[in-house]
Amino acid sequence: MALRQILKDNHPVLQSPTMAVKKINSGVLRLLDDMIETMQEAKGVGLAANQIGVSKKILVALITSADGEVKKVIELINPVCEKAEGEELGIEGCLSVPGQYGEVPRAVKIAVRALNREGREVCLEAEGLLARILQHEMDHLDGILFTDKAVRLIDPEELQSEEQT
Ligand code: CO
């Protein structure tokens, strides 16, 4: 595994839609491993492949307990949101937009279909924070940043603690 550099928001790869993965080969598996290592090193809870300069439809996310302990790592290849219910505002940050936070409207509950690293189709239902993280990462894969959707940007000093995706 290797740490990769996280691109910042004005990079063209972050502003362009990614390509679907056609074949899950050793390069894709290595990419997943590197994404997880890079996300955890940066203390993020989600990362899209184009954030490390690879224009492929791959995201990783973490489910953590309140004290930050990692409970589960989620890896999704070619994710598609199939169902979205409700809407709520929440505060987001992004590893590619350091020091900025904003209030972003997201669906409360979603269902996502994707492939796992074995190439098997999985359907993941998520709500609350995980649903927000997955929507944020799927937006990355479409070349969209949270700052494009934020209804209000927030001064970092307003926040006591925050999570970066
Ligand atoms: Co982000």
pLDDT tens profile 130-165: 999 999 999 999 999 999 999 999 977 777 655 556
| Token pair recorded at residue 17 | 């839609």
Please give the pLDDT value at position 157. 75
Which pLDDT does position 9 carry in this prediction? 86
CA of 25 to the centre of ligand 1 (A): 25
The alpha carbon of 46 and the centre of ligand 1 are apart by a number of angstroms equal to 7
pLDDT at 164: 57
Q: Are 97 and 109 in contact (CB under 8 A)?
A: no
**Which pLDDT score, from 0 to 100, does residue 66 have?**
81
Q: Name residue 124's beta-bridge partners.
A: 112
Answer whether 7's CB lies under 8 Å from 143's CB.
Answer: no
The reported pLDDT for the residue numbered 68 is 77
pTM of the prediction?
0.93
Task: Report how far ligand 1's centroid is from the alpha carbon of 16 (Å).
Answer: 14
| Residues with a known catalytic role | 137
Residue 21's CB is within 10 A of a number of other CB atoms, namely 18
Tell me how far the alpha carbon of residue 121 lies from the centroid of ligand 1, in angstroms. Answer: 25
| C-alpha 47 to ligand 1 mean position (Å) | 6
> Do the Cβ atoms of 8 and 56 come closer than 8 Å?
no
Ligand 1 mean position, distance from CA 140 (Å): 7
CA dihedral 107, 113, 114, 116 (to 10 degrees): 110
Q: Which residue stretches of the chain have pLDDT < 70?
A: 160-165
The Å distance, Cα 119 to ligand 1 centre, comes to 25
